[in-house]
């Protein structure tokens, strides 16, 4: 496949007449007093750097919430009060053998909710728009978090985690598109990578909060408060998005041209008559016209077509990249960090401290990718990360088979090394890459499919981890390498 045929604008030649007509109509509209008045009335409250920063903050809060929700269960699984309420998660030798599966299930079922949420975005993403989808996802997460906090039975916690996952699935399949569509192309890579770093920031703070509340061993607040605190992040995200504009590409796609132009003007911090603003506006309209010229198929059906636009190839690449991110085994560490360190013979308190330190180092390592993403490119960083992770997992398996005090210390260090390679090469990349390579017309369903891939393989990894360590011990690391 040639480079030209895989370009986002590969279809523009076949639709040049339609594009020119669209541009001419837009020029006439811009000059009309009614259109000018609509643009002025649609101007967002913020503009320029302030608006870009506000969008980055709200999108970042969504990803911090995502990370917090991933990490919060890590230390709770072995917390005394959590075990009192949910004895099914206790996996010592005196408990039934199926407890390892039940422990993994209560963690992994969250991913099924996320999968359902991501797939539901196939139908509601373009209908509601980016902002309202994010608000809906946040509200569902709040409901799920309340139900988790109030849980007194294993089944109740399972249902509550599915509901929370449903909201998170909606958000994680929408926020990257929203942020990418509201970001300057030159800064899009670094901004999305910042979001990836904020996932690890959420993981980090969840580990430290778990450790802080670990000392409340006489109260169920030991686990209920850490679970409930995610509500704060969801409220901040919902409140923040209410002050922000809709994506200009979504607005233009739905015929709301005056609003689209007003948002582009505000994002650039320039008048809507500025040549650069006009160029961006007409570029979006022409891309929409070119994609509309492809036919009357729905965006969902078009995902499975190729032709000059290569829709299926683009969407499939996004799905595969998200799959590869998960089967590296990163969430084996994220969800079970405390348990992994305890398996290395480290006592309860020290295991939690090291897990929290691991989360902190994970966050710091992710900052490296922000500086490298637009200098080195996407593929080199992914290859670098994959090679480093593979080597770390192989060494973990080898050292696990030896199992001495020295190899246990080295294994603990390698868990830090693995996270570092992942943070640099794969953490934010799999949210940026799928959003970049698909066309506007299929962006919502394609991102839903790629995010669904993430959650499907995330579930697989998290679900098999408990039984796998119970049955093949260090051999688990071989499967992940």
Query: Per residue in 445-481, pLDDT tens?
Result: 787 788 788 888 989 888 887 777 666 665 555 545 5
The torsion region of residue 298 among left (phi > 0), alpha (psi -120 to 50) and beta comes to: beta
Q: What is the pLDDT of residue 142?
A: 96
Highest mean pLDDT among 5-19, 233-247, 270-284: 233-247
Alpha carbons 180 and 189: distance in angstroms, whole number: 9
pLDDT tens digits along 352-380: 999 999 999 999 998 988 888 878 888 88
Entry pTM: 0.81
Cα gap 41→261, rounded to integer Å: 11
Whole-angstrom Cα distance, residue 67 to residue 385? 20
Name the DSSP class of 186: G
- What is the model's pLDDT at position 152? 93
Residue 217 binned pLDDT confidence (cut-offs 50, 70, 90): confident
Q: Which of 57-66, 85-94, 290-299, 383-392 has the lowest mean pLDDT?
A: 290-299
Q: Which helix (H) or strand (E) holds 179?
A: helix 175-181
- pLDDT, residue 238, reads 95
Rounded mean pLDDT, 103-113:
91
Distance of alpha carbon 226 from alpha carbon 214, whole angstroms: 10
Confidence of residue 183 (pLDDT cuts 50, 70, 90): confident
CA distance 22 to 283: 10
Answer with the residue of higher pLDDT: 190 or 392: 392
Mean pLDDT (the chain) is 83
Any idea which of 106-115, 155-164, 343-352, 463-472 has the lowest mean pLDDT? 463-472
pLDDT of res. 105 = 92
Please provide the DSSP assignment of 426-458 as one string: TTTHHHHHHHHHS-GGGHHHHHHHHHHHHHHHH
């Amino acid at each position: 496949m040639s480079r030209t045929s895989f370009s986002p604008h590969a279809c523009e030649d076949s639709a040049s007449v339609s594009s020119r007509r669209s541009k001419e109509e837009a020029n006439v509209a811009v000059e009309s007093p009614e259109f000018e008045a609509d643009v002025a009335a649609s101007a967002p409250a913020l503009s320029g750097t302030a608006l870009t920063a506000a969008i980055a903050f709200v999108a970042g809060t969504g990803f911090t919430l995502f990370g917090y929700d991933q990490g919060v269960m890590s230390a709770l699984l072995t917390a005394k009060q959590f075990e009192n309420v949910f004895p099914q998660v206790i996996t010592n030798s005196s408990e039934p053998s199926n407890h390892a599966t039940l422990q993994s299930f209560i963690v992994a079922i969250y991913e099924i909710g996320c999968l359902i949420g991501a797939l539901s975005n196939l139908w509601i993403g373009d209908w509601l728009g980016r902002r309202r989808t994010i608000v809906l996802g946040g509200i569902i997460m709040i409901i799920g978090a309340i139900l988790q906090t109030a849980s007194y039975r294993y089944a109740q916690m399972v249902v509550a985690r599915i509901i929370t996952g449903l909201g998170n699935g909606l958000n994680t399949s929408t926020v990257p598109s929203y942020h990418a569509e509201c970001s300057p192309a030159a800064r899009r890579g670094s901004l999305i990578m910042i979001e990836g770093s904020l996932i690890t920031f959420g993981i980090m703070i969840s580990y430290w909060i778990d450790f802080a509340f670990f000392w409340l061993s006489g109260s169920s607040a030991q686990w209920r408060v850490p679970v409930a605190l995610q509500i704060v992040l969801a409220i901040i995200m919902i409140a923040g998005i209410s002050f922000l504009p809709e994506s200009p590409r979504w607005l233009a796609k739905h015929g709301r041209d005056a609003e689209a132009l007003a948002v582009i003007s505000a994002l650039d911090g320039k008048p809507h008559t500025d040549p650069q603003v006009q160029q961006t506006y007409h570029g979006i309209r022409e891309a929409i016209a070119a994609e509309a010229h492809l036919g009357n198929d729905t965006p969902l059906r078009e995902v499975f077509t190729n032709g000059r636009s290569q829709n299926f190839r683009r969407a499939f690449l996004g799905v595969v990249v998200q799959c590869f991110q998960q089967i590296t085994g990163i969430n084996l560490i994220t969800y079970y960090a405390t348990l992994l360190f305890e398996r290395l013979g480290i006592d309860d308190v020290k295991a939690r401290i090291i897990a929290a330190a691991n989360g902190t180092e994970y966050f710091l390592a992710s900052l490296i990718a922000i500086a490298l993403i637009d200098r080195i490119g996407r593929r080199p960083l992914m290859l670098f990360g994959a090679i480093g992770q593979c080597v770390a997992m192989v060494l973990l398996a080898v050292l696990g088979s030896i199992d001495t005090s020295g190899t246990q210390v080295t294994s603990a260090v390698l868990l830090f090394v693995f996270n570092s390679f992942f943070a640099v090469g794969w953490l934010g990349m799999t949210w940026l890459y799928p959003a970049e390579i698909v066309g506007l017309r299929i962006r919502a369903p394609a991102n839903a499919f790629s995010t669904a891939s993430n959650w499907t393989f995330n579930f697989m990894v998290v679900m098999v981890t408990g039984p796998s360590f119970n049955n093949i011990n260090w051999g688990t690391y071989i499967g992940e390498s």
